[in-house]
Amino acid sequence: MTTSPYPRPPFRRLRALTFDPSLDLRLESAVVNRLTIQVPWEVNVAGKEILEPGPVGEYLEVVDIDPASGMVYEPVDLDDPHLLAQDGLSPSPGNPQFHQQMVYAVAMNTIRHFELALGRRALWSPRRYRDDSGEWQEEYVQRLRVYPHALREANAYYSPGRKALLFGYFPARPSDPGRMMPGSVVFTCLSHDIVAHETTHALLDGMHRRFLEPSNPDVLALHEAFADIVALFQHFSYPEVLRHQIARTRGDLRSDNLLAQLAQEFGQAIGRHGALRDALGGPDPDTGRWVAKEPDPNEIHRTLEPHARGAILVAAVFEAFLSIYRERTADLFRIATGGTGVLPPGDIHPDLVERLAQEASKSADHILRMCIRALDYCPPVDLTFGDYLRALITADRDLVPDDRREYRIAVIDAFRRRGIYPLDVRTLSEESLVWQEPSQADQREFSEALRSATRLRDLFPVWNLDSNREQIFEQNRHARQEIHRWLTSPPLPRAVRAAGMTLDARDPRTIYRKRGLPALEVHSVRPALKVGPGGRTMTDLVVEITQRRRGYFDEKQQERLESGRSRLPEPDFMFRGGCTVIIDLETGKVRYCIGKGISSERRLDAQRRFLKEPWNPSLRFTYFGEDQTFFRGDDELPPEPFALLHRDDPVGAL
Amino acid sequence: MPIMNAPQSGITVRMYRQGGLGDCFLLAFRAEDDTARYMLIDCGVFTGTPGGSARMKKIAEDIKEATGGILHVLVGTHEHFDHLSGFGFSGSRQVFDEIEVKEVWVAWTEDPAHPLAKKLREELNVALRALRRAIQRFDASGDPRGPRIGEVLAFLSEGDEVLGVIGTKKQFDYVRGKGEALRFRRPGESPITLPGVQGVRVFVLGPPEDEGLLKRSNPSETDSEVYEIDPHMGFYSALLRSAFEEEGEPGLATAGDDEELGERSMPFHGRYRIEFEEQTLSGEQRTFFRRHYGFSKRRGHGPSWRRIDLDWLAAAESIALKLDNHVNNTSLALAIELVDTGKVLLFPADAQVGNWLSWHDVTWPGLDCGNDVTGTDLVERTVLYKVGHHGSHNATLRGKGLELMESSELVAMIPVDEDQADGKKWKMPFEPLYKRLKEKTRGRVIRADDGLPSAKPPGLSEGEWDEFKKRTKSDPSGEKLWIEYNVPG
């Protein structure tokens, strides 16, 4: 398929399962369990068609090896005319090539949602390794590797070390053999939600490498919550199932419905009564009947396991979505009921279903974009749910300055009902939640360091959805070096101080140093979209700066080392500070400065306490010790942080 | 070394100090004829403890002398090396050969005639075989995960001829065959009296005869039972299939003939399968997998840092831990009651969450003048708590365990060796638990490694401290083989 006289199709249509194979076996859902996903027709910048068997494309390489069985499976060729003519292979759990097609389609769809929300191309986190001289090197990784049959266990995870998704398969052990055949094989790669969830972990890691470091109970929980949010709201972009569920619930999306649930088959196969997770409720432990869950503002204080804690955030975001949906459809319900708002018994009119589905889809799309865009407004390290709330509100205000429909109030309200508050604001109003602009004095320091908007703009000649990703990566690397140079040679301690970081030799001596001064890393540089006056789309520049400091479990030891002169021993843990600076590229002015100070003794102590009394003293903690659960030394991640998270606590699997 | 006298009142508990993690407790009771009766609960030290074999021999000799060579009851709580190896090292075993044992008590889980016990044993054996294969595979690639799993499984050691120690299974066989009578103890059976001893009753609390609870080792709501046999497609079948193919070892007993096992252990039909060997792949396939995965470090092969050949075996780590926990959960848990005062000495061995939880459902209806005695009562009346599993985080239940123990006399004995645990990066004793133990006992915590508290804990009055000192005693010999505590009657 190299040259063709015919116009190139914009999309490739591929069949997949809307949920997973278990829904095929239930009469009420089988009709909507078939989905055709439109995946971009992959071409490179030069216009060359690049999709190879595997599939191997620009972003993904599906490599189907099954080490436990000692087998490989032939890579599917989606360009085969027979497959092109029928939207790919038809769904078949017994055919590994369909599995390859489905993981490719669902993962590509997830990537596309991400890119559209951010208005830029997605990059995977680079490979970091020490070269022969012991220096850390970063290497561009073009494609996320996908192994659809990597494991024989009820597990699937993103491996930050291998830049790969590993999916497992396993024999089902349902609690109710009437709903699922015991011993039947469950393939996690055939679950839409699991594929979307794991892909999102990889996308998030590509943006925020430090969000893998559990410096407080929210960090990993946010990783999980975010992955669930993307998987959930993706359901609303599939019109058939959306219409079906709206018809079934008579437009009431607060009631038990498939859209709010994740990983049905997996949940049942590990012996639960329903889906693995449900943003709205779940089976009552006594009766087994589905009941809605009321928000509990204290739950957040008792819940530390990352998946369970993440579920609180997911529930808050889902509630915000429901409020928006209700607001947008109140008029439709009034029209349909002659003003009473009370629907007569029986099915609702198909036209009403269609209109409600449109509104649900728009509301979901808005919320999903809001959640993704908020990632540009997060501090680079030590993120909390409260920070994320502030990021959501700020990001949304930058895109939709006028909150006419009160979306932001809906979000704030849903978070408040679950006890999720930022620690550093006085009230929960939009005005106080939005990140603050720097003071005049700080602004002057920044101007001195950054000098002009032109100089910044010159760092970014290309970064849009058509650019070459490797070129973007290299540019980014170059921009980071440039900005680092502006700040450090000669050193501009006041500008760095204004960003909440330090270049002052008098600051805590446990901060890592370079040539006598605290070392500074320009961690990431990227553009972010916003809507300016008159609806014009404009670009901000996001610059993340980080620093690190040696942390010791023993406070006395830390104190002694801070004031003493003795050689600093190997730290017990890594304490990080960081700052996200958002710069207006039109004016060169710093709009927000979102920081986590490196000199903060309060934060250092909080992290120490969190690590010393871990959220879940798992078996592994007793036996395999802290090297598995703690992050020690320079960038030495444990081999598979997500796999550990998943294996230790099947309640929060995946 | 003198004989261990019968206590004037109450029960004397001698905790041996093995110089490593392990349990060994000798209890002395006063019989009606004023002579002593002895009960030994476990006798072991962790694998690889330096000098362990010699130390265990000294301990066995001390037991022999202290008891005059007669143990009235020998309790083997569960099949773990650190509880049984005293019967495994040839030196100490020879000493035990000379000790006469009247009765041996083990849990119902060791009863060959018990159907659930049998099922569990078969599962355990399959899982162990699979895990040993996994270790071999890791070892063959020099992967550090092999030794790490081996370390967890060391609780179930196969023995070592060079060190002169037999495997854990044989150690337990030795214990079972040691007495004049062998008793399988079940929770809720009528309280046991010791021959000739008045005023003492032994209640069996666990292990529960309930598969769900037995397999529950962690406080979380549901715990997936990954060590369950999964005849097809599962983790074990992949390992055991290769065992069969390579060495003719039998596959899974439950899976019919082995040819069928080979086919059914595969997730896809034969027409989709291609052997993963560089040579057997056809031209295009070979190019694809060479480029995108790689078989070697040669040029044109995918980078090795992205390969996942052994990643699937990493599940073996969790399984090993679960197995280990499962065996701990088969611990024979005993509550020894001083009838007159109702005081209880609690010996849970290494019981974990499911075992602890089950005690609260054990009832002895109408036992005391028509009143029921329940497991909960017994826990509440505890005055001496032998801390479970060397003080790890999941072997002492909080709400339905330690927090129920309200006696002002409460004393805790922890058979722990923090240095050894530390070296293995195990949290023993687990800090929050240890802190709470010190609070509940107001400092009366006796540790096998550190011995007695060196100074009066702030929570105790002078009188209480004097009383506590009077009731405790350390081995006066230079060997410091033990510490004793006399529980008042």
**Residue among A51, A62, A63 with most chain B CBs within 10 A, to mutate:** A63
* Dist CA B135 CA B148 (whole Å): 9
Tokens representing A6 are 């015919």
- Rounded CA-CA distance B213/B191 in Å is 23
CA of A129: which chain B residue's CA is closest?
Answer: B305
Three-state DSSP state, A265:
helix
- The pLDDT of residue A531 is above 80: no
Name residue, tokens 């000379």: B98
pLDDT digits (tens, 9 = 90+) for A265-290: 888 888 777 788 898 988 887 887 88
What pLDDT, on a 0 to 100 scale, did the predictor assign at position B250? 54
Vertex B353 angle, CA B350 and B357, to 5°: 115
Q: With a cut of 50, say whether residue A505 has pLDDT above it.
A: yes
CB contact under 8 A, B218 and A618: yes
Distance CA A456, CA A475 (A): 12
| pLDDT tier for residue B221 given thresholds of 50, 70 and 90 | very low
> Helices B90-97 & B52-67, crossing angle to 10 degrees?
10
> Residue B306 and residue A164: Cβ atoms within 8 Å?
yes
DSSP conformational letter for A570: P
DSSP line for A108-159: HHHHHHHHHHHTS---PPPEEEE-TTS-EEEE----EEEEEEEESSS-EEEE
Q: At what angle do helices A350-373 and A306-336 cross, to 10 degrees?
A: 140
CB-closest option in A145, A171, A617 to B233 = A171
Using the predicted structure, report yes or no on whether residue B417 has a pLDDT greater than 80: yes
DSSP class of B315? H
The pair of structure tokens assigned to A620 is: 């592994």
Please compute the mean of the pLDDT values over residues B67-91 and round it to a whole number. Answer: 95
The whole-angstrom separation of Cα A439 and Cα A501 is 16
Single-letter amino acid code for the residue at A200: T
A110 Cβ partners below 8 Å, 6+ apart?
Answer: A195, A196, A199, A200, A203, A230, A231, A234
pLDDT, tens digit (0-9, with 9 covering 90-100), for A559-572: 989 888 888 888 88
CB-defined contacts A:B, below 8 A: 179
Reply yes or no on whether the pLDDT at A648 is more than 80.
Answer: no
A452/A447 Cα distance (integer angstroms): 7
8-state DSSP, B173: H
The predicted structure's pLDDT at residue B424: 78
* Encoded tokens for A214: 């559990």
For residue B318, which residues of chain A lie inside 8 Å, CB to CB?
Answer: 620, 647-648
Neighbours of B230 (CB within 10 A): 24
Q: Which amino acid is at B306?
A: R
> Closest partner residue to B267 among A127, A169, A626, by Cβ?
A169
Residue A60 contacts B where some CB pair is shorter than 8 Å = no
Read off the pLDDT band of A641 (50, 70, 90): low
Instruction: Give, as one character, the DSSP assignment of residue A50.
Output: -
Six-digit token pair at B141? 């690639």
Q: Does A152 touch chain B (CB under 8 A)?
A: yes
Mutate to test the interface with B, among A65, A69, A159 (most CBs of B within 10 A): A69
pLDDT-based confidence at residue A480 (cuts at 50, 70, 90) = very high
Across the interface, of A152, A159, A625, the residue whose CB is closest to B312 is A152
* Amino acid identity at A649: D
Closest residue by Cα to residue B459 from B397, B411, B414, B400: B411
Closest CA of chain B from A206, distance in Å? 17
Contact A229, A371 (CB under 8 A): yes
Contact (CB<8Å) B288/A647: no
Test mutation, A71, A162, A185, chain B, max B CBs within 10 A = A71
Q: Is A67 helix (H, G, I), strand (E, B) or coil?
A: coil
Report whether pLDDT(A650) > 70.
no
Distances (CA, A) of B167 to A374, A392, B132, B164, B319: 58, 60, 15, 10, 21
CA distances for B290 relative to A2, A18, A167, B141, angstroms: 24, 33, 21, 20
Distance from CA of B46 to the nearest CA of A (A): 14
Contact (Cβ atoms closer than 8 angstroms) between residue A79 and residue A43: no
| Sign of the four-CA dihedral B53, B56, B58, B61 | negative
**CB atoms near residue A559 (< 10 Å):** 12
Whether B266 has a pLDDT exceeding 90, the answer reads no
- pLDDT-derived band of residue B254, with 50, 70 and 90 as boundaries? very low
pLDDT digits (tens, 9 = 90+) for A80-135: 999 999 999 999 999 999 999 999 999 999 999 999 898 889 999 999 888 888 88
Task: Give the rounded percent of residues in chain A with a pLDDT score beyond 70.
Answer: 92
With bands split at pLDDT 50, 70 and 90, how would you rate the model's confidence at A462?
low
Tell whether A190 lies on the interface with B, counting CB pairs under 8 A: no
- Name residue, tokens 């090993």: B320
8 A C-beta contact, residue B274 and residue B281: yes
At which residue do the structure tokens 């349902």 appear? A174
- A101's enclosing H/E stretch is helix A96-118
Say yes or no for a CB contact (<8 Å) between B314 and A72: no
- Shortest CA distance from B134: residue in chain A: A68
Q: State phi, psi for A157 to the nearest 5 degrees.
A: -155, 160
The interface residues of chain A toward chain B in range 392-421, judged by CB-CB distance below 8 A, are: none
- Name the packing angle between helices A217-234 and A385-399 (round to 10°): 50
The answer to whether residues B314 and B175 touch, using CB atoms and an 8 Å cutoff, is no
CA distance B319 to chain A (A): 10
What is the average pLDDT value for chain A, to the nearest integer? Answer: 87
The tokens of A576 are what? 């990080």
Contact call for residues A21 and A443 (beta carbons, < 8 A): no
Distance from CA of B395 to the nearest CA of A (A): 11
**Within an 8 Å CB–CB cutoff, is residue A272 touching chain B?**
yes
Which residues in chain B have their CB less than 8 angstroms from residue A617's CB? 393-394, 427, 430
- What whole-number distance in Å separates Cα of residue A547 and Cα of residue A556? 23
Is residue B115 scored above 90 in pLDDT?
yes
B227 pLDDT band, cuts 50/70/90, is very low
Three-class secondary structure of residue A468 per DSSP: coil
Burial class (CB in 10 A: 0-12, 13-18, 19+), B224: buried
Residue A335 scores a pLDDT above 50: yes
pLDDT of amino acid B165: 83
Choose, out of A553, A616, A647, the residue to mutate when testing the contact with B (most B CBs < 10 Å).
A647
**A39 has which bridge partners?**
A12
What mean pLDDT comes out for the span B3-30?
A: 95
* Contact A169/B at CB under 8 A: yes
CA end-to-end distance (rounded Å), chain B: 26
Task: List the structure tokens of A142.
Answer: 């073009």
Per-residue pLDDT, averaged over A323-346, amounts to 91
Mean pLDDT of the region A611-635: 41
CB contact under 8 A, B424 and A625: yes
From B269, B276, B432, residue closest to A65, measured CB to CB: B276
For the residues A576-582, what does the mean pLDDT come to? 94
CA nearest to A545, candidates A512, A580, A513, A517: A580
Search chain B and give the residue with CA nearest A57: B292
Q: Which residue of A has its CA nearest to B231?
A: A183
What is the complex's ipTM, to 2 decimals? 0.88
Name which of B221, B234, B307 is nearest A651 (Cβ-Cβ): B221
Q: Which one of A323-337, B150-164, B308-322 scores highest in mean pLDDT?
A: A323-337
Alpha helix locations (H) across A381-492?
Answer: 385-399, 407-416, 430-433, 440-450, 453-457, 469-488
Buried/exposed B412-422: b ≥16 CB within 10 Å, e otherwise: bbbbbbbebbe
Backbone angles phi, psi at A402, to 5 degrees: -100, 110
Name the residue among A74, A619, A649 with its Cβ closest to that of B321.
A619
pLDDT greater than 80 at residue B152 = no
Helix H or strand E encompassing B116: helix B115-140
Q: How far does the CA of residue A440 sit from the closest CA of chain B (Å)?
A: 49
Disruptive mutation site among B292, B352, B353, B426 for chain A (greatest number of A CBs within 10 Å)? B292
Q: Considering CB atoms only, which of A145, A170, A626 is closest to B234? A: A170
Contact B230 A183 (CB under 8 A): yes
The whole-number pLDDT of residue A418 equals 94
For A72, which of B231, B289, B424 is closest by C-beta distance? B289
Q: Which of A185, A619, A626, A648 to mutate to test the interface with B (most CBs of B within 10 A)?
A: A619
Which residue type is seen at A449?
Answer: A
Q: Residue A412: its pLDDT value, please?
A: 94
- pLDDT tens digits, A9-19: 999 999 999 99
Q: What is the rounded radius of gyration, in angstroms, for the C-alpha atoms of chain A?
A: 25
Q: Each residue of B267-304: pLDDT tens digit?
A: 999 899 999 888 888 889 999 999 999 998 899 999 98
Give CA–CA dist B314/A640, Å, rounded. 10
Residue A621: per-residue pLDDT? 38
Cα distance between residue A505 and residue B60, in whole Å: 63
Q: What is the least distance, in Å, from the CA of B266 to any CA of chain A?
A: 6
| A125-168 residue pLDDT tens | 999 888 888 888 899 999 999 999 999 988 899 999 899 999 99
Q: A313-322, A410-419, A469-478, B57-66: which has the minimum mean pLDDT? A: A469-478
Burial class of residue A624 in the structure, from the number of CB atoms within 10 Å of its CB (0-12 exposed, 13-18 middle, 19+ buried): buried
* Phi-psi label, residue A339: left if phi above 0, alpha if psi -120 to 50, beta otherwise: left
Which of B224, B281, B292 is facing A54, going by the closest CB pair?
A: B292
Q: Supply the pLDDT for residue A587.
A: 87
